[in-house]
Amino acid sequence: QPIIVFDHVVKEFKDREAGKGGKSTRAVDDVTLTINQGDIFGIIGYSGAGKSTLVRLINALERPTGGTVTVLGTDITKLSEGKLRPIRQKIGMIFQQFNLFSTKTVAQNIAYPLKLDHWRKDYQDRRVAELLDFVGLKEHADKYPSQLSGGQKQRVGIARALATNPQILLADEATSALDPETTSEVLDLLKRVNEQFGITIVLITHQMNVVQQIANRVAVMSAGRVVERGDVYDVFAAP
């Protein structure tokens, strides 16, 4: 069951200094790719390959210059900001630098998306408690991000991304700032997110071992193109 479909997608950026008629960069160059419901889909490639741009097209933080992007059955290519809202609510995102609010506590960070959606305070509290339990941070609810380790910060990031019950979780280099042991712990948590809640995960990384540890499918990007794809086992099998 397809949940994200890229059909001949192109994304060009005008080079900043070039001005009118100047050169442009094809960050994504004719990508056709299907991600199925329940996948942990790894997108791997060197820096500058176009991975972030591809993933930002999924929540329409970027709009394609060509082709179509379909998410949860809706063609979002030209959807207005208003109509994108219900789709964006079904997509959570986590980041390399965690992007937590430094002046909010752990519990307040996790509650933030619920607050934006005007959920009742008692529901917010119940949901935050549930999520703290799920990510194993119950004892840290009232701490600030600066009092947490990198792995704990990413657990908060994951809890916050899950707060509104998304169907898709986008992870942009989510373990790249962590040491190998912490990386493994966070990947195990992402695996539980996938297995317990059936959430589809799209995971960008430049680290092959990350993809090998949790992804079932993978696409290899280079210079804006998907140069290889398939089951992780097949793509990384020795020739």
- Residues lying near ligand ADP in the complex (CB under 6 A) are found at 13, 25, 27, 45, 47-53, 117-120, 123
Q: How many CB atoms lie within 10 A of CB 145?
A: 19
Who's near 237: CB < 8 A, 6+ residues apart?
Answer: none
Instruction: Supply 191's token pair.
Output: 């695996």
Q: How far is the CB of 152 from ligand ADP (least distance, A)?
A: 25
State which residue, 57 or 148, has the beta carbon closest to ligand ADP. Answer: 57
State which residue, 120 or 238, has the beta carbon closest to ligand ADP. Answer: 120
Q: How far apart are CA 32 and CA 192, in angstroms?
A: 29
Tracing tokens 């709009």 back to the chain, one arrives at: 63
State which residue, 26 or 104, has the beta carbon closest to ligand ADP. Answer: 26
Q: How far is residue 173 from each of residues 73, 84, 114, 154, measured CA to CA in Å?
A: 26, 25, 25, 11
State which residue, 2 or 22, has the beta carbon closest to ligand ADP. Answer: 22
Give the N- to C-terminal CA distance of the chain in Å, as an integer: 30
Q: How far apart are CA 4 and CA 202, in angstroms?
A: 10
State which residue, 115 or 138, has the beta carbon closest to ligand ADP. Answer: 115
Q: How far is the CB of 165 from ligand ADP (least distance, A)?
A: 8
State which residue, 12 or 185, has the beta carbon closest to ligand ADP. Answer: 12
Q: How far apart are CA 196 and CA 198, in angstroms?
A: 6
Q: How far is the CB of 140 from ligand ADP (least distance, A)?
A: 26
Q: How far apart are CA 108 and CA 4, in angstroms?
A: 31
Q: How far is the CB of 41 from ligand ADP (least distance, A)?
A: 15
Q: How many CB atoms lie within 10 A of CB 126?
A: 12
Q: How far is the CB of 27 from ligand ADP (least distance, A)?
A: 3
Q: How far is the CB of 25 from ligand ADP (least distance, A)?
A: 5
Pairing of strands 66-71, 200-205: unpaired
